[in-house]
Structure 1
Amino acid sequence: FQGGLFDMRRDPGERYDLKEYYPEIVREMEDLAKKVREDLGDDLTQNPGKNRRFPGRLGN
C-alpha cells in the first residue's frame, strides 16, 4: 500500500499518516481496492477487469 491513511477532519493537510496505527483499516481498503480492480479493471496494473464497460457502449 503506497498511499497513506489520514483523518481528514483533524488533519486536512495530510501531515500525519495513521496507517501504522490502524493496519486493519488499511487491509480492508486494500482488499476492497483489489476486488474493484478485478471487477472494473485498472489501467495502472493493466488489468482489463471482468465487468469493464467502455465509453460509448451499452451492455456487453
Structure 2
Amino acid sequence: MKFTGWKKAHKTHWEENACVEVGTAPGFVGIRDTKQAGVPDAARTVLAVSTGTFAAFVNGLRG
C-alpha cells in the first residue's frame, strides 16, 4: 500500500523528530515515526488503519 501526503503536527519541533506523521491511501491512514526520517520510504514502518478507525481515534482525543 502506498501512502502519500505525509504531514506532521504544526507544533512539532523540527530538530527533535519526536513526533508521528500521517499519510493517506484510499480508505486508509498511515502513521509513522519521524525518527525514521533518514530511512527510505519503502523501508519505513507504517501502522495502517482504516479512515473510519482514525476518525474515531481523533474524535476520542478531542473529547
| TM-score interval, normalised by the smaller of the two chains | under 0.3
Q: What TM-score, normalized by structure 1, do the two folds share?
A: 0.26
Q: Which has the larger radius of gyration?
A: 1
Q: What TM-score, normalized by structure 2, do the two folds share?
A: 0.25
Which has a greater percent of strand?
Answer: 2
State the structure with bigger RCO (CA 8 A, min sep 6), 1 or 2. Answer: 2
